Amino acid sequence: MASQKDQQHFLVLGAGVIGLATSLVLSHAYPSAKITVVAKHFPGDRSIEYASPWAGANWSSMAHDNGPLEKYDEVTFHRFGELIDGKRVFGCQTLKSGETQFVDSVNGGGNEAGLGRMGMWGVFDAPIEETGILTEETGKVWYDQLVGGLRKLGQGELPKGATFGFEYPSVFRINTQVYLQWYFRSPKRIDPTTTYVFPRPLGGGVILGGSRQDNDWSEEWDEELGQDIMKRCCELCPELGKPENLQIISRNVGLRPSRKGGPRIETEMRKWKVPVVHCYGHAGAGYQSSWGTAERVLELVQKTQAPNSKL
């Protein structure tokens, strides 16, 4: 960042969803500032190192810290809603998009920015007390009111192996090829063999997954794992049909920038002459926390720009 006497200049490292969302937030707060994005990969690139284009890209909070991570997701939820409803958010404008059904997301749907609403099921194979999604003060799911109320699934609605589940009345899915991108239907978010089905809006097909293998950076496709994923997805979502009848468009391996302890969002001032604000390590929650973490970065930047700042 340049001194206050000069034109402000912000340098953003990385052009994934976090870097680009942060750049938009900064440009709104400092319209006369110069903002430079430096990155190895930009939208349109298909490198496995570029995590954002390979994401499912939806809002389905995995935060369970009763703290800042939940706040980041909450802020992002509201921003996506404003984008869909045609309100201006940091210089963006979209057309209004109404409620859609599961089949609509496969055939089309969403607005010209690639955003839309959809109902969703979330099912779990562990007791609710072990998932970390309950608020300490109330004992209720922390995002219950945020999404407009959750309906608990009956035993007859739960897939095999599920302990409990909810129906979300309205969540967001994004097409990453239009907006930096995704959507969800019925995830099973528990362990390294988490199963998910992501219908893509705007006729983009359906993404099936998944697995989580920490510290594995291989680009090689695991055929045995792929067959297991298709089997699990078809069991979870019978509408897909049989695994052997699925039409496979492509097989992808996606990397996620995880960090022990969660994302790092803080200011550092050491050997550099300017303050550095870190914002990385979002793992698989980049899209659904993007606007919230970007606004937190803005708060930290504003503190460094304050006249009485010690930085």
The residues facing 36 across adjacent strands are 11
Report d(CA 228, CA 198) in Å as an integer. 17
| 67: three-class secondary structure by DSSP | coil
Give Cα 177 to chain centroid, integer Å.
14
Query: Which domains are delineated in the chain?
Result: 9-305 (3.30.9.10)
- Is 139 annotated as contributing to ligand binding? no
- Is 284 annotated as contributing to ligand binding? yes
Q: What's the confidence (pLDDT) of residue 106?
A: 36
Q: At what angle do helices 286-305 and 68-84 cross, to 10 degrees?
A: 110
Q: What's the confidence (pLDDT) of residue 90?
A: 43
Q: What's the confidence (pLDDT) of residue 206?
A: 79
| 178-236: pLDDT as tens digits | 322 222 233 333 345 677 777 665 556 778 887 777 777 788 888 888 898 888 888 87
- Is 256 annotated as contributing to ligand binding? yes
Q: Residues in the chain with pLDDT < 70?
A: 1-6, 56-58, 84-126, 130-132, 138, 144, 147-148, 168-193, 199-204, 307-311
H or E element that contains 171: strand 164-174
- Is 179 annotated as contributing to ligand binding? no
